[in-house]
Chains A and B, each alone.
Chain A
Amino acid sequence: MEEGFVRLEKVSKIYGSGEVQIKAVDEIEFSIEKGEFVIIVGPSGAGKTTVLNILGGMDAVTSGEVWVDGKNIAQYNSRQLTRYRREDIGFVFQFYNLVPNLTALENVELALQICKNPLDAATVLEEVGLKERVKNFPAQLSGGEQQRVSIARALAKNPKLLLCDEPTGALDYQTGKSILKLLQDMCRQRGMTVIVITHNSALTPMADRVIKIKNGKVSAMKRNETPVPVENIEW
C-alpha cells in the first residue's frame, strides 16, 4: 500500500447522524497503479458507488485519506474539489447524461471549454467511432452511441482518472461489450487509468486489477497479470 497512483487509506463514509448511522464505506483501503484498468465489483449496496463518488470528488469522506497522483483530495474544500473534477477526472455515467440540446460534438466541446489542455473534440469522437454522427443530437443516437459520446466527453478532457459507473448498465450485451472494449483500448493506447464499477463479476478477467467490495470493505483484491481481451469474455 506504500506507493500507488490512487491510494485510499482507512477511508470511511458514514451517512446520517445521531442514532441511525449507516456505514457505506468502512475503513476501506486499496491502491491502484497508474495506467491500470481496474474493475471494482461488488453486489448492490456494497459501497461501490460511494467509493466512486469519493474518488470522483463528488462526495466527502467521513475519515481517512484519498491520495490521487500524490495529492490528498480528502482534504479539499468544495471549490478545490470542483477543480479536481474539472481537471483530473473523466466521468462516464450509466445513463450517459448528455445535454439533450447540444449535438454530439457540442456535448464534447461543452466539457472541453472548461478544461486546461483538452484534446480535439472531433478527433476523440472519431476515435470512439462516431465520426459520422458528430452533428447529431443525443435523441438521434442509440444508447451505445450516446455512451460513446459520453466516453468521448470524458476522454477529451484528458483526465488523470477515468471513472465509469456501470457504463454498460443501460446497454444491451453487444453494445455493452463494444463499450467495454473501447474503454479497455483507451486504457491500453493512452495509458490512462480507468476505473470501472460494475456488479457484473464476469467482467473481472479483463481488468489489470480487480477490487471486490463487500459491506463497505475490500473483501479481495487481486492483480491480474494476464488480462483477457473483452472479446473473449462471455457472460
Chain B
Amino acid sequence: MKKALKKDFWMEIRKSPARFISIFFIVALGVAFFSGIQASSPDMRASGDAYFDANHLMDIKVVSTLGFEEKDIQALAGVDEVELAEGAYGTDVLCGEENSQSVLHIESINDQVNELTVSEGRLPEEKGECFLDTAFFESKEFSLGDTLQVQEEGENGILTTKEFEIVGHGSSPLYISFSRGNTTLGTGEVDGFIYVPAEAFSQDTYTQAYLLVDQAADLSSYSDGYSNLIKKIRDRLEGIEEEQCRIRYADVKEEAEEELADAEKELADGKREAEEELADARKELADGRKEYEDGLAEYEDGKKQLEDAKKEIADGKKELEDGKKQLEDGKEQIRDAKKQVAEGYKELADSRAKLTDGRQELEDGKRQVEEGQQQLDQQKEEAGLEEAQKELEAGKEQLAAGWKAYEEGVSQIQQYEENLPQVKEGYAQASALLAQAQEGYAQAQTAYEALGVAIEAGIATEEMKAEYEKLGAQIAELEGNIAVIQENMATLQAILDREEEIALAKAALPGQKEQLEASQAQLEAGEAELSEGLKQIEAAQTQLDAARAEIEANEAVIVQGEAQIKEGEAQLESAQAEIEANEQTIKDSEKEIAENETKIEDGEKEIAENEEKLADARKELEDAQKKLEDGEKEYEDGKKEAEEEIAEGEQKLADAREELQDLEVPQWYITDREDLPEYSEYGENADRIQNIGKVFPVIFFLVAALISLTTMTRMVEEQRTQIGTLKALGYEKGEIAAKYLRYAFLATVGGSILGVLFGEKVLPFIIIKAYGIMYHSMDTQLRIQYEWKFALIASGAAIACTMGATFVSCRRELAETPANLMRPPAPKEGKRVWLEKVPFIWKHLNFTWKSTVRNLFRYKKRFFMTIFGISGSMALMLVGFGLRDSIMDIANIQYEELQHFDGTVILDEDATDQEKEELTEYLNGQEEIERATQVLMKTMTADTGKSKLSEYIYVPGDMESFEKDVTLRDRKTQEEFQLDDTGAVISEKTASLLDVKAGETIVLEEDNREYEVLVAAVCENYMGHYVYMTEAVYREIFEEEPEYNDILITYKTEEESRMEEIGQEILEKPAALSISYTGSIKEQLNRMLSSLGMVIVVLIVSAGMLAFVVLYNLNNINITERQRELATLKVLGFYDKEVAGYVFRENVLLTLIGVLTGALLGIGLHRYVITTVEVEACMFGRNIGILSYLISGVLTCAFALIVNQVMHHKLKKINMVESLKSVE
C-alpha cells in the first residue's frame, strides 16, 4: 500500500470512530450471539458428559428378577466390550415419622462406577454409616453425625441394620436434577437417595449390576455414537440373558425343591402328634361335664326353698311396713297437734303479753289522765282565773264609779257653768248690796257716831238718843247684813274661784274619759283573755274526760281479753291431755312394731345365710362350668390351631409348590443412562437451545450484517469525491477500493474475533449456569470450547456480507469517470409523494414535515434498511418475550385448564379383582377424594416418518367424570367439545406432527400390530401426546374390552401434604402400585422451563442491545449524511431544537413504522421459533401476550429516545461553516 493511502486509511478510522465502532460492535454482537447460542448446546452436552465421565457414571444397568450371584456378574463382565461389571444392592426404604414419612432409595456404594461427589463430610466406611443426598439432607435440616432410622417394607428385609450415622452428603451422577425416581412405597415418589457400605445388606445375591462399556467414556453421552455403542452392548447382553437366566432359574428351583421336601415331612409329623393330644383332652372334658350337671340340680332345689322363705319374709315386711307407716302417720298427727298446741300456747302467751301491755298502757293512760287533771287544776289555779274575774268585776265597778264620777263631774261642771252667770250675778248683786249695806252702814255709822258724839256731847235729844239707839240697832243689823252679804259673797267668791278649777277639771275631762275608755278596753281584753283561758281549760277538761272514757272502755276490753285467755288456756290444757294420751298409744304401737322387726330381721338373717350358701354353691358351679368351657375352648383352640397350623403348613407347602411351579425363568431389565431420571431431559434442554440457536441468532445475525453492510455502502458513497480525486490522480481501482475493503475487513474481522471470543465463552457459560440451577452437578465440569464451526460460519458470513457490500458499492462508484465523481452527485430528484395527492393532510403539514415525509420516501434504500433494522430488533425482542409467554404458561394451562385431576394411581397388574374392588371402594368412600375415575392408559407409538411418537391411549371408564378430569377444547377458538363415539380426539401436537386433521385417520402401533384410528377432533394439549377415545371406540379398534389400569383421582383439598397422606393410605391397598402427582409433574416442568427462562433473558438482553446499536448507527448515518443541510438550517436561524426536531421527526416516524412492522415480523418469527424450539413431547403456547408487544415496543422507542438524546449533542456540535463548503 502506498504510504499516503495507508495514512489516509488510518485517518479515516480515527476521523469517524463512531462508524468504525458501530460496524465493529454490530458484527461482534451478531457473531457473539450466533456462535454463542449455537455453541451452547454442544457445550452443555460436553459439560454434562465430562461430569458423567469424571464420576464414572454407569453405561448400563441390569436388574434381574432373581438377583445376581457373583458368577452372573462375572458373566456380565465377560461380555465383549464390557469394561467392567459391578454388582450392587439397592432397595427403597421409609424413614421419618408417620406424617412426614419420606421414601429413600438406599444403595450400596460402588467401587468403580457411579462415583459420589462429597459436598461435606466423607464417604461411609463402616456398616452403620451412610452418605446422604444433599437435597434431602438440606431439606430435612440434618447435620453430620445425626442418625437416620429407616424401615423396610414387608418381612423380607435385606438390610442388616436400620440405623445409620450420617457421615457425609453430596451428589450421585445417577441423579442429576430434582427427581429421584418412583417407587411403590409411601407417596410413590422417592425423596432422596442414601448410600451405605455393602455390608449393610444381608443378601447374598446382588439386586442389580452396573456396567461400564469400553470406549464409552470417549464418546459424548448425548451423541449418536454413544447411543449406538450402548445399543450394541445391550443387544449383546440380551444375547446372554436367556442362558444366564436359565442357569439362575435352575439353581433357584433346585434349592427350593429341596426345601419343599423337608417341609412336607415336618408337616406330616406335626399332624400325627396333634391328633393324639386332642383325643386325650376330649375324654377329660366329658367326665368334667357330668359332675357339673349333678351339682347344678342340687343347687336348683336349695334355690327354690330359699325363694319361698324369702316370699314369707317379704309379706311380713310389708305388713310391718304398713304398721310403721300408720305409726308414722299417727306420729305425724301428734306432731301436728303438738305443734298446734304449742302454737296455741304461744298465741296465748302473745295475747297475755299483749294484755299485760294493754293494762300497762291503760294504767299509764289513767295516770296520764290524772296528771292531766291535776295539771289542769293547777293551771286553773295558777292562772288565777277567779281572782282575775273578781278583779275584773272590781275593775268594772271602779270603771262604773269612774264613769259615774266623770259624769257627775261633767254635770257639776255643767251645773256650775249653768250657775256661773247666776252666781256672778248674785255676786254682783251681793257686791251691790254690800256696797249699799256698807254705804247704809257707813251712813248709819256716821249718823250713829254723829248722834253718838251728839249724845256724848249731850246734845242728843232723846229722839236723838232713840234715833242713836235705833241707829245703833240698825248699825248692828247692817253689820249682820254685811257679814251675811260678805259670807254670801265669800261663798260666791269661792264658787267663782272654782271657775279655774272647773276649767282645769273640764280640761282634764277628755283625758279622764280616755283613761276610762282605755281601762275599759283593758278590761274588755282581760275579759276576752279570761274567757279564752276558760275555754282552753274547758277543752282540756273535755279531752281529759274523753281519755277517761276511753280508758274506761279499754279497761272493759282488757277484762274481756283476760277472760278469753283464761278460756283458751283451759282448751289447750285439755288438748295437751289428749295428745299425751295419744302419745302413749303410739309408744305402745312402736314397741309392738320393734318387736315384729326383730323377728323379721332374724328371718332375713337366716335367709341371707342360706343365700350365701346358695351363692357359694353357684359360684362353685360356675367355676366348674367355666373350667369345663375353658377346657372345651382350649380343646377347640388346640384343635383349630393344630388344624390351622396344619393347613398353613399345607398352604405354605402348596404356595411353595405353586411358587416353584410359577417360578419363572428370571428376567433381566436392562436399562441405560436414558432411563435415569432427567438424564434425557437435560439432553432435550440442550436440543432446545440448539433449536433456538437455529433461528433466533440467525435473524439477529441478519440484522447485524445488514446494518454493517448499509454502513459500508454509505461510507463509499459519501467519499465519492475522494474516490474521484484518487482516480483522477491515477490510482488504480484496486488500490482505491482496497481502502474501503480494508476498512470493512478490519472492522468485521475485529468484531468477529471479539464476538467469537466473548460469545462462545460467555453465552454458554450463562446458559449452562442457568441450567445448573436445575441440574445441580452438570455445571461442575464446564467444557466450554470454541466451536470453530459456528465461529467460522458467523465470522465468514459477517465478513462476506460487509466485504461484498463494500466491493459492490466501490465497483459502482469506480465505474464512473473521475470528473463525474468529483462533481457533486446529481442530487436525487425531489419527488412528489403519494401523500401530496391527499391535500387534506398535505396542506396541514408544515415544511419540515413535508420535507420529512419526502425524505422518508425519497431515500427508499435507507428507509427500508432502517425499517428493517428497527423492526428486526423489535421482532427479536418480541420473540424473546413471546417465548417466555409461550413457555411459562404451558405447565399451568396443561395442568390447570386442561387436565384437572390431581394424581394417577397406577394399578398393580397382578392385583386380584377383589383387591381392585377394595381400592375402588376405598377411593369412593374416602371423603377427601372428590372423584376417582378408572381409565385405561397405555402407550402406543405413532410413526411420523422421522420418528416414533409415544402416544397415550386414554380411555375413560366414566364419561361424566372424564368431562371433569379433562377439558377438550380447540386452542384457537377456545371452544369446548365432548368425547363421543365417532372417533378419537388427538392432541394438537400429534396432529401437526402426523399432519392429520379431523376426519382423517392415524395409525397406532403396539407390539408390531397396527391399528387405524379415526380422528374425530384435535384438542389443545401441551405436554405429551394423547389419544382420547370412548370405550366403544376402543372396542371397535382393538377388538377387546378395555382393561382399566389407572385411576385418576381428584382431591377436595389443595394441601399438598394432605394429598400425600391420602396417597400413602391409597398405596397401602395392595391393588395400588404407585401414584404420580400432577402437582409434582407440573412443578418439575415449571422448574425445567424456568431455566429456559434464563436463556430467554439472554435473548431479550441481546435483542435490546442490538436494537440500541442499530438505532444508533442508523441515526449516525442519517446525521452525517445531512450535515450540510443541517448546517444550512442553522445558518438560516433555526434554533437547535428546531434542527433536532427536523431530524428526529424522521427518526420517530421510522421507529414507529419499525415497531409496527417489527410486531408483524415478530409474530411470524415467534411462530417459527416456537415450532422449531419445541421438542416432540410437548407443544408450546402459540400466543404472544399483549404486554410483550407493549414492552418490546416501549423498549424500542426508549432506545430510540436515548439515541436521539445522544444525537442531539452531536447536532449541536455541527459547525455552520460546513454549509459554506462545497458539496462532496
Chain A residues in contact with chain B, CB under 8 A? Answer: 49, 53, 56, 58-59, 79, 82-87, 89, 91, 93-95, 97, 99-103, 106, 109-111, 113-115, 137-140, 153, 165, 170
**Residue of A87, A100, A153 touching B827 (CB-CB under 8 A):** A100
**Residue of B826, B1124, B1132 touching A139 (CB-CB under 8 A):** B826
Q: Which residues in window 823-880 of B have CB below 8 A to A?
A: 826-831, 846-848, 850-851, 854-855, 858
Contacts A97-B1219, A139-B829, A139-B830 given; indicate if A102 touches B851 (C-beta within 8 A). Answer: yes
Q: Is B1038 an interface residue when CB atoms closer than 8 A count as contact?
A: no
Q: Is B1138 an interface residue when CB atoms closer than 8 A count as contact?
A: yes
CA distance A102 to B1222 in the complex (A): 20
Is the pair A114, B1134 in contact by a Cβ cutoff of 8 Å? yes
CA distance A79 to B830 in the complex (A): 32
CA distance A138 to B826 in the complex (A): 11
Is the pair A106, B850 in contact by a Cβ cutoff of 8 Å? yes
Is the pair B829, A140 in contact by a Cβ cutoff of 8 Å? yes
CA distance A97 to B1135 in the complex (A): 18
Interfacial chain B residues near A59, Cβ < 8 Å: 1216-1217
Q: Is B495 an interface residue when CB atoms closer than 8 A count as contact?
A: no
Q: Name which residue of chain B comes closest to A109, CB basis.
A: B847
- Best-buried of A58, A83, A109, A113 by chain B (most CB within 10 Å): A58
Is the pair A138, B1133 in contact by a Cβ cutoff of 8 Å? no
Interfacial chain B residues near A97, Cβ < 8 Å: 1124-1125, 1128, 1131, 1219
Interface size class of B (residues with CB under 8 A): 20 to 34
Interface string of B763-807 (1 = CB under 8 A from A): 000000000000000000000000000000000000000000000
CA distance A102 to B855 in the complex (A): 9
Contacts A101-B854, A106-B847, A113-B847 given; indicate if A91 touches B827 (C-beta within 8 A). Answer: no
User: 11 A-B residue contacts at CB 8 Å?
Assistant: A59-B1216, A82-B1136, A85-B1133, A94-B1220, A97-B1131, A99-B1128, A101-B828, A103-B830, A114-B1134, A138-B830, A139-B826
**Residue of B858, B1124, B1134, B1222 touching A101 (CB-CB under 8 A):** B858
Can you name 4 extra interface pairs (CB under 8 A) apart from A82-B1130, A111-B1132?
A56-B1131, A99-B1128, A102-B847, A106-B851
Interfacial chain A residues near B1220, Cβ < 8 Å: 49, 93-94, 165
A88 to chain B, nearest CB (A): 9
Interfacial chain B residues near A106, Cβ < 8 Å: 847, 850-851
Q: Which residues in window 1190-1224 of B have CB below 8 A to A?
A: 1216-1217, 1219-1223
**Residue of A58, A87, A115 touching B1131 (CB-CB under 8 A):** A58
**Residue of A56, A79, A111, A170 touching B1135 (CB-CB under 8 A):** A79
Is the pair B1222, A95 in contact by a Cβ cutoff of 8 Å? yes
CA distance A85 to B1217 in the complex (A): 14
Q: Name which residue of chain B comes closest to A137, CB basis.
A: B830
Interfacial chain B residues near A102, Cβ < 8 Å: 830, 847, 850-851, 854
- Best-buried of B858, B1216, B1220, B1223 by chain A (most CB within 10 Å): B1220
Interfacial chain B residues near A114, Cβ < 8 Å: 1132-1134, 1138
Interfacial chain B residues near A101, Cβ < 8 Å: 828, 830-831, 851, 854-855, 858
CA distance A111 to B847 in the complex (A): 9
Is the pair A139, B828 in contact by a Cβ cutoff of 8 Å? yes
A54 to chain B, nearest CB (A): 12
CA distance A56 to B1219 in the complex (A): 13
Interfacial chain B residues near A115, Cβ < 8 Å: 1133
Is the pair A95, B1223 in contact by a Cβ cutoff of 8 Å? yes
**Residue of A56, A83, A94, A99 touching B1222 (CB-CB under 8 A):** A94
- Best-buried of A101, A138, A153 by chain B (most CB within 10 Å): A101
CA distance A138 to B1221 in the complex (A): 18
Q: Which residues in window 1123-1153 of B have CB below 8 A to A?
A: 1124-1125, 1128-1136, 1138
Interfacial chain A residues near B1222, Cβ < 8 Å: 94-95, 170
Q: What are the 3 A-B residue pairs with the smallest beta carbon separation, nearest first?
A: A86-B1133, A137-B830, A85-B1133
A235 to chain B, nearest CB (A): 22
CA distance A139 to B1223 in the complex (A): 14
CA distance A115 to B1133 in the complex (A): 9
Interfacial chain B residues near A138, Cβ < 8 Å: 827, 830
Interfacial chain B residues near A85, Cβ < 8 Å: 1130-1133
Is the pair B1217, A100 in contact by a Cβ cutoff of 8 Å? no
Interfacial chain A residues near B827, Cβ < 8 Å: 100, 138-139
- Best-buried of A85, A97, A153 by chain B (most CB within 10 Å): A97
CA distance A57 to B831 in the complex (A): 34
Interfacial chain A residues near B1133, Cβ < 8 Å: 82-87, 89, 114-115
Interfacial chain B residues near A165, Cβ < 8 Å: 1220
Interfacial chain B residues near A56, Cβ < 8 Å: 1131
Q: Name which residue of chain A comes closest to B858, CB basis.
A: A101
Interfacial chain A residues near B1124, Cβ < 8 Å: 97
Interfacial chain B residues near A79, Cβ < 8 Å: 1135
CA distance A86 to B830 in the complex (A): 26
Interfacial chain B residues near A94, Cβ < 8 Å: 1220, 1222
Is the pair B1132, A86 in contact by a Cβ cutoff of 8 Å? yes
CA distance A137 to B1222 in the complex (A): 19
A133 to chain B, nearest CB (A): 13
CA distance A83 to B1138 in the complex (A): 13
**Residue of B831, B1125, B1131, B1138 touching A91 (CB-CB under 8 A):** B1131
Interfacial chain B residues near A103, Cβ < 8 Å: 830
Is the pair A99, B1217 in contact by a Cβ cutoff of 8 Å? no
**Residue of A82, A84, A93, A109 touching B1219 (CB-CB under 8 A):** A93
Interface string of B661-704 (1 = CB under 8 A from A): 00000000000000000000000000000000000000000000
Q: Name which residue of chain A comes closest to B1223, CB basis.
A: A95
CA distance A140 to B827 in the complex (A): 9
B851 to chain A, nearest CB (A): 5
CA distance A56 to B1133 in the complex (A): 10
Interfacial chain A residues near B1129, Cβ < 8 Å: 99
CA distance A100 to B1122 in the complex (A): 11
B819 to chain A, nearest CB (A): 16
CA distance A165 to B1216 in the complex (A): 13
Is the pair A58, B847 in contact by a Cβ cutoff of 8 Å? no
- Best-buried of B1132, B1138, B1219 by chain A (most CB within 10 Å): B1132
CA distance A82 to B1131 in the complex (A): 8
Is the pair B1217, A113 in contact by a Cβ cutoff of 8 Å? no
A73 to chain B, nearest CB (A): 13
Q: Which residues in window 91-138 of B have CB below 8 A to A?
A: none
Q: Name which residue of chain B comes closest to A90, CB basis.
A: B1132
A156 to chain B, nearest CB (A): 11
Interfacial chain B residues near A137, Cβ < 8 Å: 829-831
A110 to chain B, nearest CB (A): 4
Interfacial chain B residues near A153, Cβ < 8 Å: 1132
CA distance A227 to B534 in the complex (A): 168
